[in-house]
Amino acid sequence: MRTPLFRRMKRWAIILPLMLLSSLLFAACGNSPTITEPKGIVASQEAGLFWFILVVATIVFVAVEGWLIFSIVRYRERPNMPQPRQIHGNNTVEIIWTVAPSIFLFAVLAGTIYTMFNLQNISGTNGAGRLEVQVVGHQWWWEFDYPNEHIVTADTLYIPKGWVIQTDLISNNVIHSFWIPEITGKTDVIPGHNNHQIFRADQAGVYRGECAEYCGTQHAHMDFNVVVFDTYGEYTTWLSAQQHAAQTPTSSLALQGQQIFKGAGGCTACHGIVGVNLKSFDDPTAKGLIGPNLTHFGSRTVLAGGVLDNNAGTINLTTGLLDHSNNNQCQPGNLANCNLAKWLHDPQGIKPGNDMVIGTLTDAQVNALVAYLESLQ
Ligand code: CUA
């Protein structure tokens, strides 16, 4: 039977390109970070390697599948056909199909090793230096310690453009994987075995990082932001603001919030604020606290491990801080759309299984806590 086979092939010839086209359309949806639009030298070298391997793999795929399909059609069984000629033991053919894949695999190996060595030797642009950051993977949020600058942040990594960022990747629980798709590839964060990674961001902006290794029920909710400052001066301005102890609240509502924070059975069992229950960012007490340091919470762009935007303002790219001047979401007494208020009311509903297990707070308590925490800029 001749026709059905060709009719089927014709149908697939229409369906396959349609499937490819629709997957391309879906890939263009949303604003997910992509490795194909690198904004740093590490990601761009890795993207180069990706395209090189894709080209090699495509050549192999088309050649092998083309030959296979040709053979299936050309040499398919017909009535009364004799046994085909056997090629077992044909030295020429066997040498060709051993040497050809070896050449392709060697090309991929050479490209990979070349890229790996290149990535070890990146330097800062225009005389920029190196910045050391300890990245700690928690279940399920990221902590960023700047050991030489003596500050700690959570959920957002702040770096200057053109500087080489040298990270120690630390986990005290399970295996995570540190990944900023547009800036650097994935490296596992393994308990008891500190990994290291260096990278450099070459374009100012806000990028999204993620955890790329399944680490428990909220693995998908372990995102972070990366704020890349355009100049080193902008970075140091941000830095000196972060090095201060927390601001003392000025409004009575925020003062009430601070009392709730400090109160018995309050937030200090898990969270630290420098100037309230911590003497400094290096205070040894901080080691025993399982929640993020909140000293400058009001300046952060996201909360709860990137699940929610800190929508008490918009991010100012020059200062790296949240600009509260156009805040209309987290106003006292009008918190219906305030993400921090939603989080304080029901952290387990928003992120089931996370370590923030608290009693129910009243509207008045949430109102005061939002006023206090957002004042910590
Ligand atoms: Cu941490 Cu997945």
pLDDT of residue 8: 66
Rg, C-alpha atoms of the chain: 28
Distance from the alpha carbon of residue 133 to the mean position of ligand 1, in angstroms:
19
pLDDT tens-digit series, residues 208-228: 999 999 999 999 999 999 999
pLDDT of residue 357: 87
pLDDT tens-digit series, residues 95-104: 998 999 999 9
Is pLDDT of 327 > 80? no
Q: Measuring CA to CA, how many Å separate 50 from each of 23, 106, 274?
A: 19, 15, 45
**Average pLDDT across the chain, whole number:** 88
Is pLDDT of 12 > 80? no
Residues with CB under 6 A from ligand 1: 137, 140, 176, 211, 213-215, 219, 222
Is pLDDT of 353 > 60? yes
SS3 81: coil
Is pLDDT of 258 > 80? yes
Closest approach atom of ligand 1 to CA 175: 1
Integer Cα distance of 56 and 104 in angstroms: 7
Find the mean pLDDT for residues 357-361: 86
Integer Cα distance of 185 and 240 in angstroms: 30
Is pLDDT of 1 > 50? no
Find the mean pLDDT for residues 254-268: 87
Distance from the alpha carbon of residue 354 to the mean position of ligand 1, in angstroms:
13
Choice among 82-96, 101-115, 213-227 with the minimum mean pLDDT: 82-96
With 0-12 CB in 10 A as exposed, 13-18 as middle and 19+ as buried, what is 343? buried
pLDDT of residue 176: 96
Find the mean pLDDT for residues 7-35: 68
